[in-house]
Amino acid sequence: MTENLVSQIAEAEARIRPHVRETPLVHSPALSAATGAEVWLKCENLQVTGSFKVRGAMNRLMTLSEDDRRRGVTAASSGNHGVAVAHAGRALGIPVTVYVPEGASPAKVAAMQRLGAVVMTYGTDGLDSEVEARRSAESEGRFYASPYNDLAVVAGQGTLAIELRRQLDDISAVVVAVGGGGLIGGIAADLKHHNASTRIVGAQPANSKVMIESVRAGHVVNIPSLPTLSDGSAGGIEADAVTFPLNRDLVDEWIEIPEDEIARAMRFAIEVEHLLIEGSAAVAVAAAARTQEPLSGRVVVVLCGGNISAARLREAL
């Protein structure tokens, strides 16, 4: 799968380039001093929709048939994927409906609606919303745009790695927050193809660590998620997720981040780096200082998004 995915990532990069931003890669003296490595921040919080998700959504919708485009697209999302699909749908003239779980970020729901998507609330967990969205899409004859369980989406997310290779030589490690595993799967496939020694570190909030527990178990597990500041990475994953083998085989280390450290990392980003990030991006920032083996060389921390409501920001501060 990996070799084919690397080719798909290269094709996706050429396809979506006019529609996404090559986000800045900025050096962090503070994180470098704290870790002993040369740490760089990949600022996907400055992406056109405020998160990396537009990469996968745009690639998936651009590769749909004309019949699928006409019938429309249904998606499920805790927020950022829904915003990305709505953005891509508006750009390409495709009707979009998004299913979100109860408690989804109000800021992200409002963004979906501003972009013209119909938003439906269903279930208390992201997996609940996914199941209902798939059922609805099938009954209505619409295409279901998965947030992660689709290699076209994973390939789109993996275009971030191509940018990293353009922006920085000799990357020794990349630290990524994980939800469904599409971003880290795409990044790892591309970077390890070009340099097998590149260290991939995945991190999840301790309150919602489904991928971590699935990798430990050797198969996808269904465990409850507790509330977390990292709403963008929260929730379950589908049993047949194409991202699971990528995460199992390509991620070198997994780290669980408690809520107080997520909040501390968000404050650090604002006060020291002058960057507004959401909880999932803060998970990666916090993880950089908690690796089992100290980081060394040139390290990239992916700031996966910056879509955060005022209420959630107050909670973190």
Q: What is the pTM of this model?
A: 0.94
Amino acid at 133: A
Cβ burial of 18 (10 Å; 0-12, 13-18, 19+) is: exposed
What digits encode the pLDDT tens for the residues 157-213? 999 999 999 999 999 999 999 999 999 999 999 999 999 999 999 999 999 999 999
% of the chain at pLDDT higher than 90 = 80
- Tell me the C-alpha to C-alpha distance, in Å, between residue 252 and each of 60, 105, 141, 272: 28, 31, 40, 29
* pLDDT of 247: 98
Hunting for tokens 């990396």 — which residue is that? 52
Name which of 1-10, 97-106, 163-172 the model is least confident about: 97-106
Residue-range domains of the chain with CATH: 2-51+151-316 (3.40.50.1100), 53-145 (3.40.50.1100)
What digits encode the pLDDT tens for the residues 290-303? 998 899 999 999 99
What digits encode the pLDDT tens for the residues 50-61? 999 999 999 999
* pLDDT of 277: 96
* pLDDT of 160: 98
- Tell me the C-alpha to C-alpha distance, in Å, between residue 108 and each of 117, 144, 157, 303: 12, 20, 19, 17
CB 307 within 8 A of CB 313: no
Hunting for tokens 């409906």 — which residue is that? 97
What digits encode the pLDDT tens for the residues 15-50? 999 999 999 999 999 999 999 999 999 999 999 999
Round to whole Å and give the CA distance between 82 and 313.
Answer: 20
What digits encode the pLDDT tens for the residues 279-288? 999 999 999 9
Band of pLDDT at residue 310, cut at 50, 70 and 90: confident
CB atoms within 10 A of CB 218: 9
Round to whole Å and give the CA distance between 279 and 209.
Answer: 14
* pLDDT of 236: 81
User: Is pLDDT of 128 > 90?
Assistant: no
User: Is residue 131 helix, strand or coil?
Assistant: helix
Round to whole Å and give the CA distance between 42 and 24.
Answer: 6
Average pLDDT over residues 229-246: 88
CB 275 within 8 A of CB 223: no
What digits encode the pLDDT tens for the residues 66-98? 999 999 999 988 788 999 999 999 999 999 999
* pLDDT of 79: 81
